[in-house]
Amino acid sequence: MKLDPSLLQNLPPFERLNAADRQEVLDLARIRRVLPGKSVFEEGMDATHFHLLLDGHIRVERLNPEGEKVISLHIPPGQLFGIARALGRDIYPATALAVTECLILVWPTALWETFVERYDGFSTEAYKVVGNRVSEMNNRIMELATQHVEQRVARAILRLMQQHGRDSEIGTQIAFPVTRKVISEMTGSTLHTVSRLLSRWERQRIVQSQHRHIFVLDEGRLEKLTH
Amino acid sequence: MKLDPSLLQNLPPFERLNAADRQEVLDLARIRRVLPGKSVFEEGMDATHFHLLLDGHIRVERLNPEGEKVISLHIPPGQLFGIARALGRDIYPATALAVTECLILVWPTALWETFVERYDGFSTEAYKVVGNRVSEMNNRIMELATQHVEQRVARAILRLMQQHGRDSEIGTQIAFPVTRKVISEMTGSTLHTVSRLLSRWERQRIVQSQHRHIFVLDEGRLEKLTH
DNA sequence: CGTGCCTTTGAGAAATATCAAAGCCTGTGG
DNA sequence: CCACAGGCTTTGATATTTCTCAAAGGCACG
């Protein structure tokens, strides 16, 4: 199956390549389709590949020694991920899970050096991704260290909305199903506390949720709850 | 003042350089002496330089919008720091403070690219440092999200001991002064809770502290408290 | 149309912060 | 060389947040 080079057209890491190079990059890639709930790679596995998410949503999570889950981040379409090699790691530090059906380009890790050398802008973009993640991790640490659960949950929903929102008639909808449990794993909390908070916010018309679908009705008031 | 190239002898980022290159690297550097409590650079400042700590101990900290302090990490002698440029940042994301008197080599950020290209092993070591920090941040997030204050405080002291310990007659001493307040800022807690924990552990002969000096008497039992 | 998640809500328990006060080092300046 | 100011530490009492335990109802998919 031949991939269409326009796939890479608007993706930052490959934006500065000409058509021939884009074709070359695609010829080196394998494409993977991953069903919701299936993992792309698992924490501790050999980092044999690096990845670009073409479509869908990825959840990155880790387990602590007691088996409690902590969700690190969600990846929107268009981003590089699983690039352990950029930081000299040879195993994946976390598990990547498809939340919705995903379309992913994967390249063997051995090609990393080549990409960095040969493709203009690739390394800069890759390290920009790392820089953003580091910065998000820093913010996360600040929040966990200084804020209450309510503020952290508000911030988590706000972030999901901003990074994965799609407009709808009643407000902004988060683009993939999110349970109370998931939010608690994103915030270091429990599903009960999250449920109580969401119930309250629903009464106040700040959010609305049905089953696993969350809509933000009033971004401004949600933002106020974060501090 | 001429610097002695043997300064760089055993430092990983420059380990693979020959004597001439080491001299060159030193000629490009400026050396700074920073007194305890003084800052090397501050959060939000232009990242004009990157740094190598020759001697002393650096504390890296951030303030949240409410002015609460969060301590990110402590840097031991021999490490690169303030390398925002490695991740494409152009301002420092945190403040670096001398905890003890420090001796620091600094280079203008503009030299970063040159160092990466010209000096064998420099970039690899720099990204290894970044990789380690990312991994530590990840662990920190896991701890904050899933563990209780007692476990986090135990872990924080254990880490200080392992990374900055010096042997003494009664146990391992942390190499710089540490207050209850500092530990609370490392763990997202309060000085009162930390004080109560340390008092208890002192009664149990796990640690001993006088004024701002902490000794770990029983590493094994402290380790048990971390989970 | 029932089984397995998902959600809600209450009651009580536990962890930790906050408030308050007092005592203790130590480095400094007279 | 002494006294004292300012930071550091301890400890009690109380308040607050959040978790844990428990139970029941709801939704969706096979």
pLDDT tens, chain B, 227 aa long: 567 878 888 899 999 999 999 999 999 999 999 999 999 999 999 999 999 999 999 999 999 999 999 999 999 999 999 998 888 899 999 999 999 999 999 999 999 999 999 998 998 899 899 999 999 999 999 999 999 999 999 999 999 999 999 999 999 999 999 999 999 999 999 999 999 999 999 999 999 998 999 999 999 999 999 99
Judging contacts by C-beta atoms under 8 Å, the chain A residues touching residue B133 are 134
Instruction: Spell out which residues of chain B touch residue A187, defining contact as CB-CB under 8 Å.
Output: 145
DSSP 3-state helix, strand, coil percentages of chain B (rounded to 5)? Answer: 45, 25, 30
Name the phi and psi angles at A224, rounded to 5. -60, -30
Rounded Cα distance between A97 and B156, Å, is 31
Q: Is A130 within 8 Å of chain B by CB?
A: yes
B14 CA to chain A: closest CA distance, Å? 17
- Within 7 Å of a protein beta carbon, the nucleotides of strand D are 7-13, 17-22, 27-28
Q: Is B110 on the interface with A (CB under 8 A)?
A: no
How many angstroms separate the CA of A66 from the C1' of D10? 34
d(CA B82, CA B86): 9
C-alpha distance across the termini of chain A, in Å = 51
Does at least one atom of strand C sit less than 7 Å from the CB of B190? yes
Please report the pLDDT score of residue B183 as a whole number.
98
What is the DSSP code string of B104-142?
EEEEEGGGHHHHHHHSTTHHHHHHHHHHHHHHHHHHHHH
In this predicted model, what pLDDT tens digit does every residue of A50-73 receive, in sequence order? 999 999 999 999 999 999 999 999
* D9 C1' to B73 CA distance, Å: 24
Distance B151 CA to D15 C1' (A): 24
Show Cβ contacts of residue A129 under 8 Å, excluding neighbours closer than 6 positions: A79, A80, A83
* Nearest by CB: B89 against A131, A140, A145: A131
Q: Which of chain A's residues have a Cβ under 8 Å away from the Cβ of B146?
A: 64, 66, 68, 70, 188
What distance in Å separates the CA atoms of residue B106 and residue B40, rounded to the nearest whole number?
A: 10
Q: How many CB atoms lie within 10 A of CB B200?
A: 12
pLDDT value of residue A1: 58
- CA of A149, closest CA in chain B: separation in Å? 11
- Alpha carbon of B120: minimum distance to chain A alpha carbons (Å): 15
Instruction: Show the domains of chain B with their CATH numbers.
Output: 5-144 (2.60.120.10), 147-224 (1.10.10.10)
Across the interface, whether the CB atoms of B130 and A128 are under 8 A apart is answered: no
Q: pTM for this structure?
A: 0.92
Which chain A residues contact residue B93 at CB under 8 A? Answer: 134-135, 138
CA-based radius of gyration for chain B: 19
Q: Report the C-alpha gap between B212 and B193 in whole angstroms.
A: 16
Question: Which tokens hold the place of A152?
Answer: 């952290």
pLDDT for the residue numbered A2: 67
Q: How far is the CA of A193 from the C1' of D19 (A)?
A: 8
Would you say B145 and B185 are in contact if contact means Cβ atoms under 8 Å apart? no
Q: Which of residues 37-66 of A touch B (CB under 8 A)?
A: 62, 64-66
Nearest residue, CB atoms, A87 vs list B88, B127, B142 = B127
SS percent in chain A: helix, strand, coil, step 5: 45, 25, 30
Return the number of other C-beta atoms located less than 10 Å from residue B19's C-beta.
11
In this structure, which amino acid lies at residue B91? I
Q: What is the pLDDT of residue A47?
A: 96
Count Cβ neighbours within 10 Å for each residue of A47-70 and write b for 16 or more, e otherwise.
bbbbbbbbebbbbbbbbeeeeebb
Which pLDDT band holds residue A9 (cuts at 50, 70, 90)? Answer: confident
Give the contacts of B100 (CB within 8 A, at least 6 positions apart): B36, B56, B57, B175, B176
Mean pLDDT of A184-203: 97
- Alpha-carbon span B104 to B106, nearest angstrom: 6
The pLDDT of residue A87: 87
- Cβ atoms of A198 and A209 within 8 Å: the answer is yes
Strand partners, A103: A33, A55
**How far is it, in rounded angstroms, from Cα B43 to Cα A158?**
25
- The answer to whether A131 and B130 are in contact (CB under 8 A) is no
Q: Are A62 and A70 in contact (CB under 8 A)?
A: yes
Rounded Cα distance, A57 and A36, in Å: 9
3-state DSSP assignment of residue A25: helix
Task: Identify each DSSP E strand in A35-186 by its residue range.
Answer: 39-41, 49-55, 58-63, 69-75, 80-81, 95-98, 102-108, 165-167, 172-174
- How would you classify the pairing of strands B49-55 and A213-216? unpaired
Torsion of CA A28, A33, A38, A39, to 10 degrees: 10
CA dist B54 → A192, B14, B75, B79, B105 (Å): 50, 13, 11, 8, 7
Interface contact B149, partner A, CB < 8 A: no
User: Residue B108, Cβ neighbours under 10 Å: how many?
Assistant: 12
CB contacts, 8 Å: A133 with chain B: 134
- Adjacent-strand bridge partners of B80: B52
**A 177-216 → B contacts, CB under 8 A:** 187-188
Sheet holding B69-75, edge to edge: B39-41, B95-98, B58-63, B69-75
Query: How many residue pairs bridge chain A and chain B with CB atoms within 8 Å of each other?
Result: 89
Q: Give per-residue pLDDT as tens, A122-144.
A: 988 998 999 999 999 999 999 99
pLDDT single digits (tens) A24-53 = 999 999 999 999 999 999 999 999 999 999
Protein CA B126 to sugar C1' D16 (Å): 45
Separation in Å, CA of B167 to nearest CA in chain A: 30
**Cα A133 to Cα A187: distance, rounded to the nearest angstrom:** 17
Measured N-to-C along each axis, helices B149-164 and B180-187 cross at an angle, to the nearest 10 degrees, of 110
